[in-house]
Amino acid sequence: MARVDVTETGNGSARDQRRTGSRVRSVLDRWRDDPGVWRRGALLAAGAVLLALLLVFHAQIPNKVGNLGSLTETFLPWLGVFVPVLMAAALWRRSATALIAALLPGVIWLNFFGGLVTDKSGPGGDLMVVTHNVNADNPDPEGTARQVAGSGADVVALEELKPGMVPVYEQALAGTYPYHSVQGTVGLWSKYPMSNSRPVDIRMGWTRAMRATVTSPKGEVAVYVAHLPSVRVKLNAGFTANQRDDSADALGEAIVRERLGKVILLGDLNGTMNDRSLNAVTSQMRSTQGAAGDGMGFSWPAAFPMARIDQIMVKGVEPVASWSLPATDSDHLPIAARVTL
Q: What DSSP string describes 15-61?
A: HHHHHHHHHHHHHHHHHHT-TTTTTS-HHHHHHHHHHHHHHHTGGGS
Radius of gyration of the chain (CA): 25
What value does the mean pLDDT take over residues 76-99? Answer: 93
The predicted pLDDT at position 17 comes to 64
Confidence band, pLDDT 50/70/90 cuts, at residue 116: confident
pTM: predicted TM-score of the whole model, two decimal places: 0.86
Confidence band, pLDDT 50/70/90 cuts, at residue 253: very high
Query: Which stretch of 30-39, 54-63, 283-292, 320-329 has the lowest confidence by average pLDDT?
Result: 30-39
| 212: CATH | 3.60.10.10
CA distance linking residue 112 with residue 109, whole number of Å: 5
What value does the mean pLDDT take over residues 286-315? Answer: 95
Quote the Cα angle for 328-133-161, to 5°: 105
The predicted pLDDT at position 232 comes to 77
Q: Is residue 23 included in any domain, yes or no?
A: no
The predicted pLDDT at position 102 comes to 96
The answer to whether residue 31 scores a pLDDT higher than 80 is no
Same structural domain, 238 and 334: yes
Stated length of the chain: 341
The predicted pLDDT at position 2 comes to 47
Same structural domain, 178 and 317: yes
37/327: higher pLDDT: 327
Same structural domain, 190 and 234: yes
Same structural domain, 175 and 217: yes
In percent, the amount of the chain with pLDDT more than 70 equals: 88
Q: Is residue 219 included in any domain, yes or no?
A: yes
The predicted pLDDT at position 241 comes to 80
What value does the mean pLDDT take over residues 198-220? Answer: 97
Q: What is the count of structural domains for the chain?
A: 2
Q: Is residue 109 included in any domain, yes or no?
A: yes
Q: Tell me which of 67, 91, 117 is where a domain ends.
A: 117
Same structural domain, 188 and 299: yes
Same structural domain, 97 and 52: yes
Confidence band, pLDDT 50/70/90 cuts, at residue 84: very high
What value does the mean pLDDT take over residues 202-221? Answer: 96
Same structural domain, 181 and 97: no
Query: Which stretch of 166-175, 183-192, 294-303 has the lowest confidence by average pLDDT?
Result: 294-303
Q: Is residue 7 included in any domain, yes or no?
A: no
239/111: higher pLDDT: 111
Q: Phi and psi of 150, rounded to 5°?
A: -70, -10
Q: Tell me which of 75, 97, 117 is where a domain ends.
A: 117
CA distance linking residue 213 with residue 231, whole number of Å: 30
In percent, the amount of the chain with pLDDT more than 90 equals: 77
Nearest to 134 by CA among 105, 106, 170: 170
Asked if 341 and 216 count as a contact pair (C-beta separation under 8 A), the reply is: yes
What value does the mean pLDDT take over residues 248-264? Answer: 98
Q: Tell me which of 82, 117, 152 is where a domain ends.
A: 117
Same structural domain, 297 and 165: yes
Confidence band, pLDDT 50/70/90 cuts, at residue 6: very low
Confidence band, pLDDT 50/70/90 cuts, at residue 4: very low
Same structural domain, 58 and 143: no
Q: Is residue 2 included in any domain, yes or no?
A: no
Same structural domain, 183 and 69: no
The predicted pLDDT at position 148 comes to 97
Residues 6+ apart with CB under 8 A from 147: 325, 326, 328, 334
Domain span at 296? 127-340
Same structural domain, 162 and 95: no
Q: Is residue 20 included in any domain, yes or no?
A: no
How confident is the prediction for the chain on average, in pLDDT? 90
Q: Is residue 238 included in any domain, yes or no?
A: yes
Q: Is residue 1 included in any domain, yes or no?
A: no
The predicted pLDDT at position 18 comes to 60
Same structural domain, 182 and 162: yes
